Structure 1
Amino acid sequence: MKILGSVRFLLILGSLYCFISKQTLCAEEPNPRCIESEGKALLEFKAGLQDPHSLLSSWEGGDCCDWRGVSCNNETNHVVSLDLRYQHLFDGVSTAWHLSGKISPSLLSLKYLNHLDLSSNDFGGDAVPEFIGLMKGLSYLNLSNSGFSGRIPPHIGNLSSLRYLDLNSFYHFHDLYADSLEWLSRLSSLQYLDMDSVNLENVGDWFPAINMIPYLSVLKLPNCKLEEIPVSSSFHNVTSLVSLDLSNNQFYSLLPNWLFNMTSLKHLNLRLNQFQGSIPDGFAKMSSLEVIQLGKNELVGSIPPTIGMLCNLRTLDLSSNNISGDTASLVEISAGCAGRSLEVLNLRNNNLTGNLSDWLSKFERLDTLDLGHNSVYGSIPATIGKLSSLRYLMLNHNGLNGTLPESMGQLSELILLDLSFNSLDGVVSDAHFANLSKLEQLSLASTSLSISMSSSWLPPFQLKLIGLRLCKVGPKFPTWLQTQKDYGVLDLSNTKIEDVTPDWLWNLSSKILMLDLSYNLISGKLPATLEFVSISILDLNNNKFEGLLPALPSSMEYLDFSNNMFSGDILPFFGYQLPIFSHLFLSNNLLNGAIPASICQDLEFYVIDLSSNQFSGELPTCWADLPYLNALNLANNNLSGKIPATIGSLNELRTLHLGSNHFKGELPIALQNCTTLVTLDLGENEFSGLIPAWIGELLPFLRILRLRSNFFHGIIPPQLSLLTSLQILDLADNSLSGTIPPGLGNITAMAQMHKPNERMLEDMQSAVKSSVSNYGPSGYVESLLVVMKGREQEYSKNLQYVASIDLSNNQLTGNFPRELGDLYGLQNLNLSGNKFTGKIPDEVGKLKLLESLDLSMNSFIGSIPMSMSLLTSLSHLNLSYNNFSGRIPSGYQLQTLDDPSIYLGNPGLCGVPLDECGSNETIFSIILACSDGDDECESEKLGLYIGISLGFVTGFWAIWGVLLFTESPSEAYFRFIDKLIDKIPFARKIDIYDEEEDEDETNAFLY
């Protein structure tokens, strides 16, 4: 027994040793499972692939069933699954690690393969291999986002065992396409089909093929360019669908009736289409529905209360439609069983009205509530604090008023709170944030809330976004901000802060992307360098910062230091390359020195605005290095020399402001290459020579041309009339001669109304709100000084609605062109200080939108046209120092312009607001006003003479004919004359025209 026990003990020890040492002497090598022919096929498949990082390094010798991504049947040892999807191989690596190359037909040797997954690799735009249609054993095929392109081979329709087919091409948008889906009808076992972003625009009637698949439960056809969808039809097979995604197509119809027969449907996504009409009550029959996504369509009407009957509904997305009605419809939904199941309620960007009453608290499980961009009004109810599951609350862009309820502080799960763009007021204290330990994004922007936290308050959260624009935060910097270390966005613009920047402010979050302190009264200096942070957007516009400019981090993209008191040069910005620097605004500071050539090393510049500083010297010549520059503003400095020809290399340039400097010479012909220019402002310099004709011929998009106050001479090029988009033409204060080209009356943009109508104003306001609510930078905002109504005015936001011609203070001659009367949209016309002659044509009365008209200091003659009284928008008029004569027209707008200086220096004028006209002055004003040799005047004289003669003859015989042939009337008449002569001295004048009759004639003309 002892011997037997010892043997048993030794055997156990030996086995234990073998297990630990894994010595081959202790056990026989197991037979490899891999079937040799299939292993060889896999190696041939690998040989066609490019595998730069050896992800398939295990595919060498040994048992192929143990290779990465290969699975074999445990009983037959045949390869049944090949899973080489990118995420499976190596999560989180760069795209360069994807498998690529050619798919070898050796895969056909894997006759028992039923699972093939090559998704998320990169096969370089190759076509989907047609031989896949011969792999009859496949039940699972996933080629999604693998870089295939071209036509989907119809041979896939031969895979009758296929249950799962994923051809999703979202990351290679529309690289795959199909011109027919007939092959789908042969996939009788298919249960899952995903063709996201496959181009199907040439597929005609796509639905019948889908309807032939009897067991289909998941159908995903988003982003496919589908246009036609049957609205009413008796389809039966599709009723088995559990999930349907047809989002982001081009359907333009009512919601299809057959949808409401899908009683098994749980997930419905029809977002981003153009579905019309109201939301049907038929949804009430779809009791399995968990998700309804109908956002971004054109649905109208109210929300049907029957949706409240969907007891499984978790998500209701009706955002960005035209849904109207009162929030009372939500009262009924909240009272139904959907009120107890709903987790996401997204009604953003509709036309909902009404208030937020206690019904809101009945959505017990609500995780996300988005009512932004509606017309909801009233106060936020205190019962909102009962929504204990709420994580995302967006009520922005509404008409909410009143104070913020302290119960908001009970929303302990809240991550995002956006109440921006409402009329909320009152004080926000630490009590409002007492339990919001998970809060990450806070936006109270564009409200009237006053943020008043106690000095000892320690926030329970770490915010990633802080948006307090236009709230009352000041006058001191809030100390609680010191505790926030994780924010990426901090917006304190226009928050009434009047403080010196505390040192702790510049201990910026390491994650900061944007800091906006603009439109305050913040003073102090910046750190010598900001290179220690990764900030991309820094806006300090309109403050009192001073001192030198800091060095910038390489992450800087958008910087606005305008309207401060920074001094010194700008070299700290350009001592090294800033690879993504695109927007630079430094206007209205005290910066000086030359503009360095190193400004061109930041190749991504889109906007450079250095206007209104003290820069001097000549411009660098490196502009060809800035291929994307869109706006360059160097106006109002002390720059001199000539414009470098290299500016002509800026092919993307839209705006060029070089005004109010000391540039000289002729305009470089290279500027004609800037064919995308919209604004060309070279005013108030020392340019000379002719105005080149190529401005009109080669700058077709020009809307603003400002060349005033230079030394240009010669004629106004007729080619300027080719600028059909021109709205502002300012050539004043030069030495131009010749006549006004009649073709200027053909400029299309000046013949259109530019004042925004009510609808345009709404769109503008909406756009402004949208741009402000996004915490990113805006582009360059155009501004221009325009002399209008006798004074210089700066136009910025409204510049697009200004139409003006200023040719004043030149040496122009000739008449006022009648063609200018066709510029119906013109608001300002200044021809003063020239040598114009002739009469003002009646066509001036067609300029209905004209607000300012200055014709002073010329040699215009004749009467002021009666039609000028029709200029109902006119608020500034100057006709002084001409040779106008006759009575000043009365009526309409001219009655409101009662300043006598308007007509000063025209001795032949009379009437209000000047002295009253004499007896015969108004009758013979035409004769007195006309100069010899004027054909038009001669015609008017002839007409007057004929009228007087006919009137005399008619009057003579009307009276004397009666007297000669009738005795008693003649006696009565002479007795009347005798009595009249006795009463009236012979020295008294007899007016030919009665004044009242004259006024009647004027009114008759105007009507």
Structure 2
Amino acid sequence: METHRPLHLLLVLGCLTSKIIQCMSCIQHERVALLKFKARLEDPHHLLSSWTGEDCCTWRGIGCNNKTGHVNMMDLRHEHLCDGPSNNGLLSGEINPSLLDLQHLNHLDLSSNNFKGIPIPNFIGSFAELSYLNLSNVGFTGMIPPQLGNLTSLRYLDLNSLYHANHRLFADELNWISRLSTLKHLDMSGVNLAKASNWHYAVSMLPVLTVLLLSDCQLQQLPSSAPNFNFTNSIRIIDLSNNQINSNFPVWMTNFSNLVQLDLWFNHFHGPIPEAIGQMTSLEVLQLGLNNFVGPLPRNMGNICNLRSLDLSSNNISQNTSTFSDIFSLCIGNTVEILNLRSNMLRGELMNWLVMLKRIVILDVSKNSLDGPIPASIGNLSSLRGLYLSYNGLNGNLPLSIGQLSELKIFDISSNSVGGVVTEAHFANLSKLEDLGMRLNSLAFNVSRNWIPPFQLKIISLSNCQLGQRFPSWLRTQKYFVQLYISNAGIADKLPDWFWKLSNFVTLLDLSHNRITGSIPPYLKFYSIRIINLSSNMFSGPLPSLPPDVEYADLSDNSFSGELHQIFSGNLYSLAQIYLSNNLINGAVPASICKIQILEVVDLSNNLLSGELPICFSDLRDLFVANLANNNLTGLVPEVASPCIVEVLHLGSNNLSGEIPSSLKSCNYLVTLDLGGNNLTGRIPTWIGQNMKFLRILRLRHNMFYGSIPQELSNLQLLQILDLSDNHLSGRIPQDFGNLTAMKYTTEATETALESFESQTLTRTDNISTIGYSDSISVFTKGMLLQYTKTLPLMRSIDLSMNQLSGQIPVELGSLHGLKSLNLSGNHLTGHIPASIGGLYSLESLDLSANSLEGEIPSSLSTISFLSHLNLSYNNLSGRIPSGYQLQTLNDPFIYIGNHNLCGPPLQQKCDSDATVHDLIPSCIYSEDGCESDDTQWFYYGGVTGYVFGLWAVCVSLLFSEAIRNAFGLIDFTHHIMNFRNHQIETRS
């Protein structure tokens, strides 16, 4: 026993010493360094409140070595300090150099805070023992200090700055990385490496690198041949996604035998995927989506036996799916769980190959050109949770076997041609279904009124499916849905009261384009709703008060009545777009509308509104679209905000007065300006043509504008519709209207022709992004007022009728080859109708009536093949009415009434016989360059005349020589010639 006593004493002494060390406080100068560091931090939520007392080793986020007491860890990661994710209480301020006193630090984590654009301190490169450094998403900016290359013990380096878009790091070269010989994990995602062209050589020197994450680094190139990588056997994860790499698939990567994950998503990779990819047998995740890869897919891809996730979405893979059997019959068919082939050019059917995906969980083949039926064998894919088949050409009936997919959560077959009847059996075992997308098909629901579905849906998308005339009662069982689309579903029923007491989680509601009746509760119970569309129904009663979070509300095309006060009475801080057109709303526009500071689109057109618009209208600084047309509004045209970003302004068909306000002068992005049908006066401002370079529609008809038409309007190169009719305008039609670029080209060529102009002039980046607004305008054409909405981009029209314009019709108008409607009626125009009018190739409607035009009708008018409406009445035109071509179909004599010196069909007045030949000869042979020269015209004259007289000489000789006729068997032929001649004479007379 005595011999063991010293050993026992040593053991006791060792234990006591260990306990003493553990009870020791942290090193004093390190404690002071930490307090100095804290002093320069901004800590509004007191996350470092525990940093008090003598023992800094007990402070939150600080760790010490158990043996020496030195601080060896500082973990101030925001989530760790807050015990979970949070956006509040981020640390900020400065990084005090006092941290240099922590010379034994080997773990430093400041991630997910916000140091507001300060640079990474150079002194961090002095922590010689540091093995873990995480500075991700802390808001650092500027160049990464190359001193980090001194951290030769570093094994983990994370400089990710993806989530601080305004504070990004950059590096012009990465040579310093090559010195980090022990580095295993490197994450520089979000760091700008556009100038670091040698990045791949620097990285290739790291012998034990396992993870390389360089997403969103503005990388532009990869080496065409394999660099001498030191980590060929160690690398397991490579992420080069969201860059600008423009190359073929890097074949040298297929040599990385232990690579588990390769992410090349969202680059400019192109060309085929090589057969060598089959060598990467360790791959579990392969992300190649959003590139320009072309098909077909290599058969060897089927040999990647560990692959669980394959993303080839949004490429140019063109392949018939019948060849997929060759790929998925290999081992990949037994392992792949996620297959994303969305947005390619696949064609063929789902048959055969689909059942080879034994473990498939997520299958996305949407937005392709697949056809054929959904196979009944799909019910055998027992692991399937997400099935995306939308936007294809699938047809046939929906198989009942869908109801066997008991794990299915998402089922989307939207935008196909699937038909047939949907019954309860289709949903028999879908107890886990959360997202049902069947819209835009030819499906008809036939379920019992008492049916209780086995699922609780979050997204219900059944637009354009026939749900029956009665409101679907099974919806009453769905308590947790977030989005409901049942527009155009054939419902003709009163909306039940229980509907408004359903889910408390609704964010989107679309009941539009049905025949639903009833009224809306004064206060909607869907408090979380952001998008509500009740348009094109038969709702009546007063408008409801909108929930505070609503962003988009469309209640148009109903029979709502009452005033606007109710709907604008709440605190609608999120409302951006509101549509109330085509109702029975009366009263004034309340000033409370001006409180909605972010309002972008307001459509109150076609109601019974009256009174003046509120003066505060100019406070709506985010307004893009304002449509208050077809009401009874009075007063002046309202001022607009400055700077003005309005793009569409409809105030037509009201009782507004005064002049066009000068505040509109700053509306440089205006596309539509409609002030027609009011009592406005003054001159048309010249600044419309000088400032509004994007104007496509200018409608000032039916006002009291006077003076001449501004020459500056010819600067509007995008102008498609110009309507200045029914005013008191005088003077001449500007010759430069022939330069209106958008009217010069046929519809098919217009966008191409204007592309250059728009690219040079369009500097604005925040164009209209609306969900429901479609611009619409009424155009007087073909003798009637027509409304253009869907076809509005195709319309080209000039209407200057019912004014006091004088002078001649400018010859230059003949160059407007894309013009569809021209109305110059009801003026004092004189002179001839220019022969260049034949250059209006696309013209469908021409009205020159009630002027003082004289001379002959140019025969070039007959060559306008689309002309279906013509009015030349009440002028001083004379001579023979041209015949043939399109004019022969316009046989209404009222087209020419009031021109006493016109003759020929369709008028009863016959022409003199000396006009017989003249009618065959166009007064102007029109070409793309205008009228041909006189010499050219005489050439045509001589040719035609010679042909006529030559033919007549032959016929005369045949008529008077029976022997010749009999010898050549030409009796019947002569008979036909004589009949043809008689017919021509009758037609001309």
- Give the TM-score of the pair, scaled to structure 1: 0.86
**Residues 531 and 552, structure 1, Cα contact 8 Å, conserved in 2:** no
- After superposition, give the CA deviation of every residue in 1:266-304 in whole Å (9 maximum; x if it has no partner): 101111111111111111111111111110101112111
- Which residue, out of 269, 280, 295, partners 1:275? 269
Q: CA deviation at 1:546?
A: 0.4
Matched, 1:224 2:217: yes
The change in CA–CA distance for 1:186 and 1:545 in structure 2 (over 3 A counts) is same
Q: Which residue of 2 aligns with 1:569?
A: 563
Matched, 1:490 2:481: no
Matched, 1:846 2:839: yes
Structure 1 unaligned blocks of 5 or more: 1-26, 761-775, 931-936, 960-971, 977-993, 1003-1007
- The equivalences for 1:925-1004 within 5 A come to none
CA–CA separation in structure 2 for the residues paired with 1:807 and 1:831: 5
**Residues 113 and 139, structure 2, Cα contact 8 Å, conserved in 1:** yes
The change in CA–CA distance for 1:650 and 1:40 in structure 2 (over 3 A counts) is closer
Q: Which residue of 2 aligns with 1:599?
A: 593
- Which residue, out of 243, 248, 258, partners 1:254? 248
Q: Which residue of 1 aligns with 2:109?
A: 117
Amino acid at match of 2:524: L
Q: Which residue of 1 aligns with 2:201?
A: 208
Q: Which residue of 2 aligns with 1:884?
A: 877
CA–CA separation in structure 2 for the residues paired with 1:111 and 1:884: 103
Q: Which residue of 1 aligns with 2:789?
A: 796
Larger-gyration structure (1/2): 1
- The equivalences for 1:348-387 within 5 A come to 348-387=342-381
- Corresponding residue SS for 2:442: coil
**Residues 500 and 526, structure 2, Cα contact 8 Å, conserved in 1:** no
- The equivalences for 1:295-444 within 5 A come to 295-444=289-438
- The equivalences for 1:588-987 within 5 A come to 588-644=582-638, 646-647=639-640, 649=642, 651-755=644-748, 778-914=771-907, 917-922=911-916
Amino acid at match of 1:539: N
**Residues 275 and 298, structure 1, Cα contact 8 Å, conserved in 2:** yes
CA–CA separation in structure 2 for the residues paired with 1:819 and 1:327: 57
CA–CA separation in structure 1 for the residues paired with 2:22 and 2:204: 51
Matched, 1:130 2:130: no
**Residues 339 and 364, structure 1, Cα contact 8 Å, conserved in 2:** yes
Aligned-pair Cα RMSD in Å: 3.0
CA–CA separation in structure 1 for the residues paired with 2:152 and 2:373: 61
**Residues 540 and 561, structure 2, Cα contact 8 Å, conserved in 1:** yes
- After superposition, give the CA deviation of every residue in 1:686-727 in whole Å (9 maximum; x if it has no partner): 112222222222322221110111122221111111222211
Amino acid at match of 1:116: L
- Corresponding residue SS for 1:856: coil
Q: Which residue of 1 aligns with 2:973?
A: none
- Corresponding residue SS for 1:237: coil
Deviates more, 1:453-462 or 1:292-301: 453-462
Amino acid at match of 2:825: S
**Residues 801 and 823, structure 2, Cα contact 8 Å, conserved in 1:** yes
Q: Which residue of 1 aligns with 2:759?
A: none
Q: Which residue of 1 aligns with 2:287?
A: 293
- Corresponding residue SS for 2:319: coil
**Residues 21 and 68, structure 2, Cα contact 8 Å, conserved in 1:** no
CA–CA separation in structure 2 for the residues paired with 1:532 and 1:399: 36
CA–CA separation in structure 1 for the residues paired with 2:562 and 2:843: 45
Q: CA deviation at 1:573?
A: 1.3
- After superposition, give the CA deviation of every residue in 1:330-374 in whole Å (9 maximum; x if it has no partner): 212221110000000000000000101132122111110000000
**Residues 545 and 570, structure 2, Cα contact 8 Å, conserved in 1:** no
CA–CA separation in structure 1 for the residues paired with 2:918 and 2:395: 68
- Corresponding residue SS for 2:47: coil
CA–CA separation in structure 2 for the residues paired with 1:998 and 1:210: 91
CA–CA separation in structure 1 for the residues paired with 2:920 and 2:317: 65
CA–CA separation in structure 1 for the residues paired with 2:715 and 2:259: 61
**Residues 886 and 922, structure 1, Cα contact 8 Å, conserved in 2:** no
CA–CA separation in structure 2 for the residues paired with 1:124 and 1:170: 14
Amino acid at match of 1:559: A
CA–CA separation in structure 1 for the residues paired with 2:60 and 2:854: 98
The change in CA–CA distance for 1:454 and 1:925 in structure 2 (over 3 A counts) is closer
CA–CA separation in structure 1 for the residues paired with 2:21 and 2:143: 49
Amino acid at match of 1:87: E
Q: CA deviation at 1:664?
A: 1.6
CA–CA separation in structure 1 for the residues paired with 2:643 and 2:310: 50
- Which residue, out of 449, 452, 475, partners 2:446? 452
CA–CA separation in structure 2 for the residues paired with 1:852 and 1:446: 37
Q: CA deviation at 1:566?
A: 0.7
Identity of aligned residues (%): 53
- Give the TM-score of the pair, scaled to structure 2: 0.88
- After superposition, give the CA deviation of every residue in 1:623-646 in whole Å (9 maximum; x if it has no partner): 1221111111111111112223x3
Amino acid at match of 1:141: L
- Which residue, out of 182, 207, 216, partners 2:175? 182
- After superposition, give the CA deviation of every residue in 1:419-454 in whole Å (9 maximum; x if it has no partner): 100001111111111111111111101111112221
Q: Which residue of 1 aligns with 2:515?
A: 521
Deviates more, 1:909-918 or 1:812-821: 909-918
Amino acid at match of 2:236: V
CA–CA separation in structure 1 for the residues paired with 2:918 and 2:52: 115
**Residues 572 and 596, structure 2, Cα contact 8 Å, conserved in 1:** yes
- Corresponding residue SS for 2:712: helix
CA–CA separation in structure 1 for the residues paired with 2:378 and 2:25: 64
Deviates more, 1:35-44 or 1:702-711: 35-44
CA–CA separation in structure 1 for the residues paired with 2:22 and 2:672: 82
- Which residue, out of 500, 504, 514, partners 1:506? 500
- Corresponding residue SS for 2:163: helix
Q: CA deviation at 1:911?
A: 3.9
Amino acid at match of 1:481: L
Deviates more, 1:812-821 or 1:665-674: 665-674
CA–CA separation in structure 2 for the residues paired with 1:574 and 1:267: 53
- Corresponding residue SS for 1:577: coil
The change in CA–CA distance for 1:254 and 1:154 in structure 2 (over 3 A counts) is same
- The equivalences for 1:456-495 within 5 A come to 456-495=450-489
Q: CA deviation at 1:909?
A: 3.1
CA–CA separation in structure 1 for the residues paired with 2:737 and 2:981: 41
Deviates more, 1:903-912 or 1:201-210: 903-912
**Residues 626 and 650, structure 1, Cα contact 8 Å, conserved in 2:** no
- Corresponding residue SS for 2:733: coil
The change in CA–CA distance for 1:998 and 1:269 in structure 2 (over 3 A counts) is farther
Deviates more, 1:395-404 or 1:719-728: 719-728
CA–CA separation in structure 2 for the residues paired with 1:274 and 1:897: 57
Amino acid at match of 2:339: L
The change in CA–CA distance for 1:715 and 1:869 in structure 2 (over 3 A counts) is same
Amino acid at match of 2:703: N
Length, aligned pairs only: 911
- Corresponding residue SS for 2:100: helix
- Corresponding residue SS for 1:608: strand
Matched, 1:243 2:237: yes
Matched, 1:37 2:38: no
The change in CA–CA distance for 1:691 and 1:997 in structure 2 (over 3 A counts) is farther
**Residues 204 and 227, structure 2, Cα contact 8 Å, conserved in 1:** no
